[in-house]
Structure 1
Amino acid sequence: MKSSLQNLHRNIFSLVWTGVRRNYDNLDDNIAKHLGETDANHPVGIHLSRMFSEVFKRHSRDEADRLFIVGTKSTTPSLQKVSSRPVTPWFFSRVFLVLAVSFVMLMALLFVFKSNKVIPGLIFIGSLTVPLSLLMMFFEINVYQNISIRQTMVIFLVGGILSLIVTMTFYMILPIRTEISIESALIVGIVEELAKCVVIILFINSYKANYIFNGVLIGACIGAGFSVFESSGYVSEYGLATIFTRSFQAIGTHTIWAAIIGGAVILGKARKKPFTAKDFVTKPKFYVFLLIAICLHTFWDWDIPDTGIGVSLFQEFIDIVIGWFLIFVMIDAGLREVKTLQGQQIIIHRSKRKKLVNKR
């Protein structure tokens, strides 16, 4: 009787898991196909194992160098040469490894050799490790290769600091309460995500970015800069132990939320035109993702009353899962966009060719 019940439980679990897996495999594509103008009969597959399949393979120095030779007039490929194959970033993992090893070495200097002089370096590298690694991943994912590493670093530094300035300006205007409550968490979420959104729009308009992958990269740059400077600042307020928690928590916070907003800005504006104040309130493809990012930030900051660390960690886990799912939706939509634009260009090219033939 006991063995038959166990078999029944296994069969039920297997059935449920199979259904969940199949639906999840298609869910990001089902959402993404409604964000663009692509044919729903041509899905774009996003699979974690395939996306990160290059991480554990050997790559030469020349391969790494080629990743950075992009974004100039001579190195930006034409639209027809842009790859629409599933993205497979790998260099970001090397960046993470170097920074993580550096962080461990600095910890050894602090705790083994008792050298307090390494504390500033420990704070900086700890704050930088995850955001910069994520930033490099989005840099690799930008298949259009139309934003250089120099531009990326400028957006990261200037955009990150500027978003903090806008945030503090909003805080001066709005009455922010310091007590722990859902209302306070909501206000913080609104203020910080709106501040990053304003700066993201500013850079997207100034760079004349028109593609989803461009918006995601610009957003990630600004979110990563915001995350690095904010985490460094928290150490002075809450002590050195803060860096050990915020360093790994950064995998699901500002960089991801800002990347989602950056992609949403591109979805919300007319192609080859700047994002306007009217787009801010009239384009559901934009403000729905902005509202989701605000909700993710609010849920992350909200300390549910009468709960312990377990509930807080579970909140963060849910937040990270939802945030990364939306990133995969943006990647899916970005690849669909490539196929759509390439298809449109082919059609235009053929029509011009027919006109030329008729003239002859």
Structure 2
Amino acid sequence: MKCPNCDYSNPQGTKLCLTCGQELLNGNTPEQDPNSLFYEFAQIVDEIPSDFRSVKPKFRNIFSRVFRKHSEVEAERLFIVGTSLTTPAIDEVEGTWPKPWLFARIFLIALFAYLGLYMGVNFFGNINFIPGLIIVGSFGVPITTLVFFWEMNAPQNIAIYKIVYVVLVGGILALLVALVFYDLLRNNINPITIGIVEELAKVVVVIFFVRDLKYKYILNGLLLGAAVGAGFGAFETAGYALRSLLSGSFPMLYNTILWRSIFSPGGHVAWAALTGAAMCRVQGDSKFQLNMLMKPKFMFIFILVVAMHALWDSPMPGIYPFGQITLTVISWIFVFWMIRIGLNEINEKKRSLAFTYYK
């Protein structure tokens, strides 16, 4: 079935164009189907110059494809992006808000696996299921959140194998760097120093991955930061879960996994994503220099993230879990704000290329 938007020939039965993501309906997109309610609206939108089209987040649009049926071909198409053969040129990248959906499927798969492992331990008393329970419970939600960031990476220039590499290697490196900082601090440990140490450790690792300018877009920094944060948070959760188990309390083990999973999207993953995006924002097309860390656009995000981390770990009575819920909402407000800045960056580069071409 040929897509009327980009002329790509899709396999029969595909509901969304595998190249541009346009919805297909009996050979026509909803906007081109005379019987569609979107027809007249789309005609008007097409007349609006692209410079004036909004890329502001509309949540019902961003998540509009989550509950639709998708084929395996569509999932396979997502997993092959980011290679030298499948990365689109910047002028081919859509500068509008992506509509992710795969992350929801990943969550359901992880949930099914966790429930199966839970049954093996709790109902059948088989302790061989415990390592799997801890691993899936610790990684399930962080990886789900990471896949969301991966789908939001409009340039589609980072392959899935690279993401797996950053999660494992980046997560471990960030933990080791944090341990070095903790050793330097010795007994000076409090919520503020914890926030500084752990967020700075993740920034150091993100810089390692973006320093060569291969991944220079703000959305790239958002994704790579989220990957480092996902690895950091998941390994940390696995450690706390093991401690709970060694204390001899299975309910504490389940509670540790449950609550840390619920709040993981608003914790390490979102915080590292924000600092990663801020790092790429100040770096731009230049190679990394140490003075970039002192630029206001980076310092504002870093101080914000450290403050949220410190408040998260604060022992103030009554802050849990309402404080964590509030901080999660604040984190994601800034995440969507940074996504918008990243999309605007893509549009600016496309306009710059077009101007150079016509000049």
**Range class of TM-score, shorter chain:** 0.7 to 0.9
Q: Which of 311, 317, 322 is matched with 1:299 structurally? A: 311
CA–CA separation in structure 1 for the residues paired with 2:229 and 2:313 = 16
Deviation at 1:80? 1.0
Question: How much has 1:175 moved relative to structure 2?
Answer: 2.7
Conservation of the 8 A alpha-carbon contact between 2:170 and 2:231: yes
* Residue 207 (structure 1) shift: 5.6
The residue number in structure 2 matching 1:263 is 277
Aligned equivalent of 1:220: 226
1:233 aligned onto 2:224: no
Q: 1:273 aligns with which of 268, 286, 294?
A: 286
Match of 1:49? 60
Report how far residue 260 of structure 1 moved.
0.5
Contact 1:257 1:293 in 2 (8 A): yes
Report the alpha carbon displacement of residue 87 of structure 1 after superposing the two structures with TM. Answer: 1.4
Tell me how far apart the structure 2 counterparts of residues 43 and 346 of structure 1 sit (CA, whole Å): 19
Tell me whether 1:314 sits opposite 2:322 in the alignment.
Answer: yes
Letter matched to residue 133 of structure 2: L
Shift of 1:41: 6.2
Tell me if 1:129 matches 2:137: no
User: Is the 8 Å Cα contact of residues 221 and 279 (structure 2) preserved in structure 1?
Assistant: yes
Bigger Cα displacement from structure 2, 237-246 vs 135-144 = 237-246
Aligned partner of residue 248 in structure 1, secondary structure = helix
After superposition, the C-alpha distances for 1:68-127 in whole angstroms (9 at most, x for unaligned) are 111122111011110112111100110010001111111111111111211111100000
Structure 2 unmatched runs, 5+: 1-49, 246-252
Are 2:191 and 2:313, in contact at CA under 8 Å, matched by a contact in 1? Answer: yes
Cα–Cα, structure 1 residues 238 and 177, in superposed 2: closer, same or farther, change >3 Å? farther
- Aligned to 1:312, the other structure's residue is in SS state coil
Among 348, 354, 359, the alignment partner of 1:340 is: 348
**Structure 1 segment 129-168 matched on structure 2, within 5 A:** 129-168=140-179
83 and 125 in structure 1: CA distance in 2 versus 1, 3 angstrom threshold: same
User: What amino acid does structure 1 have at the position aligned with 2:195?
Assistant: G
Answer whether contact 2:216 2:285 (CA < 8 A) is retained: yes
Counterpart amino acid of residue 285 in structure 2: K
Residue in 1 that maps onto 2:193:
187
The answer to whether the aligner puts 1:196 opposite 2:202 as a matched pair is: yes
Q: CA deviation at 1:40?
A: 9.7
Which letter maps to 1:68?
F
User: Any conservation in 2 of the 1:219–1:263 contact (CA below 8 Å)?
Assistant: yes
Decide which of 330, 334, 355 is 2:338's aligned counterpart.
Answer: 330
Provide the rounded CA distance (Å) in 1 between the counterparts of 2:191 and 2:276. 22
Q: How far has the Cα of 1:313 moved from its partner?
A: 1.0
Partner amino acid for 2:307?
C
State the secondary structure of the residue aligned to 1:210: coil
C-alpha distance in 2 between matches for 1:255 and 1:275:
23
Q: Percent identity?
A: 38
Give the distance between the partners of 1:87 and 1:163, measured in 2 at CA: 29
Give 1:237 deviation, angstroms: 2.5
Which 4+ residue blocks in structure 1 deviate beyond 3 angstroms? 39-43
Query: Structure 1 187/123 Cα, relative in aligned 2: closer, same or farther at 3 Å?
Result: same
Structure 1 residue 244: deviation in Å? Answer: 2.3
Does the Cα contact within 8 Å between 1:176 and 1:187 map onto a contact in 2?
Answer: no
For CA contacts below 8 A with separation 6 or more, give which structure has more relative contact order.
1
- Structure 1: tracts of 5 or more residues without a match: 1-38, 179-183, 352-360
CA root-mean-square deviation: 1.5
Given that 1:186 and 1:295 are in contact with CA atoms closer than 8 Å, whether structure 2 keeps it comes out as yes
Deviation at 1:276, TM superposition (A): 1.3
* Residue identity in the other structure for 2:150: F
Q: Give the Å deviation of 1:42.
A: 5.4
TM (norm. structure 1) is 0.81
Answer yes or no: is the 8 Å Cα contact 1:223–1:257 preserved in 2: yes
TM-score, with length taken from structure 2: 0.81
Q: Describe the superposition over 1:243-274 as per-residue Cα deviations: whole angstroms up to 9, x where unpaired.
A: 222122212110110000110001111x3222
When you count helix as a share of all residues, which structure comes out higher?
A: 1
